[in-house]
Amino acid sequence: MIGTVAKQEWRLLKADRTLAAVVVLMAAMVGYSLYNGSSWVAFQRQTLGAAETEQAERKGKLLKTLKGIEEGRIEVKGTQDPRSAASIGGNSSAPYLAMPPAPLATLAVGQSDLYPYYFKLNLRSKQAILANDEIENPTNLLAGRFDLAFVLVYLFPLVALALGYNLISSEREQGTLALAMSQPLTMREMVTGKIVLRGGLLLGLVVLFTFAGALLTGVDLGSSTVWLRLGLWVSLMALYTGFWFGLAVLVNSYQTSSATNALTLAGAWLGLVLVLPSVANLVATSMYPVPSRVEMVQAMRVAGKEAQSKGSMLLAKYMEDHPELMPAGEKPAADFTTLSYAVQMEVDKKVEPVLKRFDEQVEKQQAFVEGFKYLSPAILAQTAINDLAGTSLGRYQHFSRQVDGFFDAWKGYFLPKVFAKTKLGSGEVAGLPVYQFREETDGDILGRVGVVLAGMLVLSGAVLWVGYIRLRRVSIS
Amino acid sequence: MISQIAKKEMLEMRRDGRFQVASAIVLGLLLVSLGIGWQQYVSVNRQHEMARAETREQWLSQGKKNPHSAAHYGVYAFKPKSPLSLVDRGADQYTGVAVWLEAHKQNEFKYKPARDANTLARFGDLTASSVLQLLVPLLIILMSFSSFAGERESGTLRLLLSMGIAREKLALGKALGVAGGLGMLLVPAALIGSAALVLASDSGSFVANLPRLGWMTASYLLYFAAFVGISLTVSALAKSARLALVCLLGFWIFNGLAAPRLFSDVSRTVHRTPSSFAFSQRMDGELKKGFDGEALKKKVMAQYGVTSMEALPVNFLGISLKAGEDHGNEVYDKLYSELWDTFEAQNRLQQQGGVVAPLMAMRSVSMGLSGTDFAQFRDFSVAAEKYRRVLNDAMNDDLKNSPKTEGPYMADEKLWSKVPEFAYVMPEVNVVLGQQAWSLGLLVLWALGATGMAGWAATRRLRAE
């Protein structure tokens, strides 16, 4: 019976202009947004390529110089010794640490326009490295981008509601409801047939267009992780579609007119997609205000000033702690470079608690917000799509931890050599560790997205369930 | 007659539960966002004031130092928050808050608040401006989509017209009815907003901000008038109230959700922003070219009429540092102007998007008058950079005239206090109005065009069935 209803619905849709309109609209929106996403990915790849070239050239030049010095062809002149640890570690062989766009990055720009996707290492403070970011017009950042996630989270529900707002009401208004119910058909069967066809069609179109667009924009479908992500994405969209059609069923079960249904559903969309997230944000920022960066700047400044004033003392103390680093036959030489590194280390140590307090408060706010996401399917969908596209805050934190680790190892290797005034040779430089971004595992993704999917399942299930229970009480006349 | 129609419209609104709920929500959100905006303004402003005093104190009390070393120590400049940011935060979340003004280098502003925000922030800030720009138009649509179409469907339109009422009067009455309904909502909000502004600012700055507030109120009224006009036009022309609602909602979505993103994409494609990598590579390349040290030496020796560097009556270090600064400044001026001009070209294009989506014009005017748009961020950046140069010139000048003795030369607080404190004054309202001429013009056109259209549609195209 459900099949018959679906078939009938299909005939009606075909005869109507609605189907053509939905197909064209979805194709245009999905196509344009994927084009937009892929051009942003291309921009990032190009930048990373340029950085890699520059890094290779710089290192090649350094190696040539070092070999020249070792073979006696080049003489070291002036104050800057290219063999010094400070110059090699801080500049001439300092690598770019890059996080390349994930395979499905075209799906969502997410937070990728806000957080840096590569860092140039140095031997100075982490703050100096982290503060670097991509140039962008603030007005554009404010507007956000027309990416697939925007289409799916904001606009897709409207199309779904346009297809579902009159599930029962139109039959009643046309006088066909009593006719249909006189057949061996229950109200639930009729509604199921309708939403399976309409929802299935819409979902099918989105999936079809997205896969086509992904292929056209060069997403590599060869790896299993891409298929896993695409599979999760399709499940997410199925549940999201289910939620909005469930809402349509629920509203229809109140037996109001089509016009009233449309207004109510539009109101629900407005509340869930636009108002609720910003109210939640407002609550979170009011309850866990992030301490001001201005205060942090001041704290760093004070620490810097104190450390500066006792710079030579710090160096002496450092040498006392590490006598093995004392350059042979020298007093602790208070030259500009070593002194500044001694000061830097002290500042880092002083500033650490301030930074920690800052990060903790941001994390608290984020943790608080995590709970909010279950209030609105739009927040859930956005979070999951960002995770699947690899543009979520989670992946940036994952990257940031790797940067931290590499930075500490890098400093651990070079700073003692800076203080000991060790000179490096071409062999050592050629053997320096190379950074390679470790992608998040499928388990990480599955863990984060799985929770979201479960939340979405509960929301969609609850709406559909209540709607279907109420269907029993819907009268025919 | 007109007032009777208007009264009837308002009575219907008051009786409609849906409208009451919607208005209450909008009013509530408006008041909450104003309150939060006020609180944020007050706390950020206090922090910045404190930091400003502190950074000055640090500069003055840095002790005995070589002037160049003091220039390296530098000062921080913190972008002040404008009182009207309590209405519209604009791009504030996406511009850095602090810049370090040091020797040799024009630094970027650091610490965008958006980077420390939680992930919900990208769904949009709840500010008074977003309520006014997005939700109030929606309310207008809800209030007026059935004005004509609904009466036609229920048959009362024929009745009304048969009574011989002039169609102009009918249209005006309907428009006034919507305006009255809106007024019940907006007048208290405007009063509370103004009160918040008074509380937020000291007496002097409130008066200084009054013209901005006045222009802002006027431009929002134009924006709302445009929406009333559009809604009435569509309601008069549409076959049914349902069709009118669908068309109006479609326009609302395009205007509020799609247009800002579409126009920012288009502007980015037309005026390309360089990558940060390419920009800094170019900057390094230009800076490395440097200046000709030997030529400078010759020039200075000729200027002072001596034949050897030792015979110079001044300290050459100060002169060469100054020459280095001048070279750097030339490069910075060139590259940053180019970059910022690109941003402004993008923003101009987005303003022009107001031709099809009035929000684009309204957003621009609102941010501009609130002092939270890119143009005013640039204005502050330029002022801070100018101050950096004043500070560096003072240090290098002192170095140039320092005695050529053995051992390092040290200056003290006498020199530090010679550098005036950094003081920034926001641009006058006229400057902002100049920048927003396009948008303001478009808003006026929209308001006149849409209300004119509504009048035309209601008198010439209104069918009784």
Tell me which residue in B39, B95, B118 faces A369 most closely, judged by beta carbons.
B118
Statement: residue A311 has pLDDT above 80 = no
Closest CA to B229 of B73, B447, B8: B447
What average pLDDT does the segment A30-50 reach? 94
Statement: residue A128 has pLDDT above 80 = no
pLDDT tens per residue, range B416-453: 999 999 999 999 999 999 999 999 999 999 999 999 99
Query: Which residues lie below 8 Å from residue B126, measured CB to CB, with a gap of 6+?
Result: A275, A278, A279, A281, A282, B29, B32, B33, B36
Residue A136 DSSP code: -
A309 in contact with B, Cβ within 8 Å: yes
> pLDDT value at position B255?
96
Torsions phi, psi of A423, nearest 5? -105, 135
> pLDDT value at position B225?
94
In B, residues 194-213, which contact A (CB 8 Å cutoff)?
none
The residues with which A423 forms a beta bridge, in sequence order, are A84
Give the minimum alpha-carbon distance from A138 to chain B in angstroms, rounded to a whole number.
5
CA atoms A134, A135, A139, A144: torsion sign? negative
Q: Residue B23 is inside which H or E element, if any? A: helix B17-60
Angle at B396 between CA B391 and CA B397, to 5 degrees: 95
Between residues A291 and A121, the one the model is more confident about = A121
pLDDT tens per residue, range B205-258: 778 888 999 999 999 999 999 999 999 999 999 888 888 888 999 999 999 999
Share of chain B above pLDDT 70, in %: 98
- Residue where the block lists tokens 């007109």: B2
Residue to substitute from B120, B348, B349, interface A, most A β-carbons within 10 A:
B120
> pLDDT value at position A461?
96
Q: Which residues of A touch B238 (CB under 8 A)?
A: none
Tell me which residue in A50, A139, A270 faces B91 most closely, judged by beta carbons.
A139
> pLDDT value at position B379?
96
Tell me which residue in A115, A144, A294 faces B51 most closely, judged by beta carbons.
A294
Statement: residue A110 has pLDDT above 70 = yes
What average pLDDT does the segment A102-124 reach? 90
The residues with which B348 forms a beta bridge, in sequence order, are none
Residue A272 near residue A372, CB atoms below 8 Å: no
Give the minimum alpha-carbon distance from A128 to chain B in angstroms, rounded to a whole number.
10
Statement: residue B406 has pLDDT above 70 = no
What average pLDDT does the segment A9-16 reach? 84
In chain B, domain spans:
2-460
Between residues A200 and B123, the one the model is more confident about = A200
Lowest mean pLDDT among A152-166, B269-283, B295-309: B295-309
Q: Taking all residues of chain A, what is their mean pLDDT, rounded to a whole number?
A: 88
Is B119 close to A111, i.e. CB distance below 8 A? yes
Lowest mean pLDDT among A50-54, A294-298, B410-414: A294-298
Q: Residue B75 is inside which H or E element, if any? A: strand B75-78
Residue B250 near residue B234, CB atoms below 8 Å: no
Is A143 close to B263, i.e. CB distance below 8 A? yes
B142 in contact with A, Cβ within 8 Å: yes
Strands of B80-144 (E only): list them: 98-101
Residue B306 near residue B376, CB atoms below 8 Å: no
Q: Which of A162-176, A366-380, B260-274 has the highest mean pLDDT?
A: B260-274
Nearest CA in chain A to B134: A274
What average pLDDT does the segment B114-134 reach? 86
Q: Which residues of A touch B57 (CB under 8 A)?
A: none
Tell me which residue in B78, B95, B121 faces A294 most closely, judged by beta carbons.
B78
Residue A82 DSSP code: T
Q: Which residues of B touch A158 (CB under 8 A)?
A: 253
Is A284 close to B120, i.e. CB distance below 8 A? yes
Nearest CA in chain B to A284: B118
Q: Which residues of B touch A275 (CB under 8 A)?
A: 25, 29, 126
Statement: residue A476 has pLDDT above 80 = no
Between residues A140 and B152, the one the model is more confident about = A140
Closest CA to A284 of A356, A376, A372, A358: A372
> pLDDT value at position A329?
54
- Residue where the block lists tokens 């819409």: A202
In chain A, domain spans:
1-284+390-477
Report residue A169's pLDDT band, with 50, 70 and 90 as the boundaries.
confident
Tell me which residue in A50, A262, A366 faces B119 most closely, judged by beta carbons.
A366
B257 in contact with A, Cβ within 8 Å: yes
Statement: residue A130 has pLDDT above 80 = no
Residue B109 near residue B374, CB atoms below 8 Å: no
A285 in contact with B, Cβ within 8 Å: yes
Report residue B261's pLDDT band, with 50, 70 and 90 as the boundaries.
very high
Instruction: For A271-325, give the DSSP string.
Output: IIIIIHHHHHHHHHHHHSPPPPHHHHHHHHHHHHHHHHHTHHHHHHHHHHH-GGG
- What is the CB neighbour count within 10 angstroms for residue B195? 12
Q: Taking all residues of chain B, what is their mean pLDDT, rounded to a whole number?
A: 89
- Residue where the block lists tokens 């509604």: A191
Q: Which residues of A touch B275 (CB under 8 A)?
A: 43, 46-47, 50, 134-135
Q: Which residues of A touch B51 (CB under 8 A)?
A: 294-295, 297-298
What average pLDDT does the segment A468-473 reach? 91
Angle at A76 between CA A75 and CA A78, to 5 degrees: 130
Torsions phi, psi of B26, nearest 5? -60, -45
In A, residues 371-390, which contact B (CB 8 Å cutoff)?
372, 378-379, 382-383, 386
Is A369 close to B260, i.e. CB distance below 8 A? no
In A, residues 14-53, which contact B (CB 8 Å cutoff)?
36, 43, 46-47, 50-51
> pLDDT value at position B306?
87
Lowest mean pLDDT among A50-59, A467-476, B91-100, B155-164: B155-164
How many contiguous H segments (helices) and E segments (strands) does chain A have?
Answer: 20, 2
Statement: residue A330 has pLDDT above 60 = no
C-alpha span between A364 and A358 (Å, rounded)? 10
C-alpha span between B183 and B27 (Å, rounded)? 11
Give the minimum alpha-carbon distance from B99 to chain A in angstroms, rounded to a whole number.
10
C-alpha span between A368 and B336 (Å, rounded)? 40
In B, residues 226-255, which contact A (CB 8 Å cutoff)?
241-242, 245-246, 249, 253
Is A279 close to B126, i.e. CB distance below 8 A? yes
Is B275 close to A47, i.e. CB distance below 8 A? yes
CA atoms within 13 A on the CB side of B251: 20
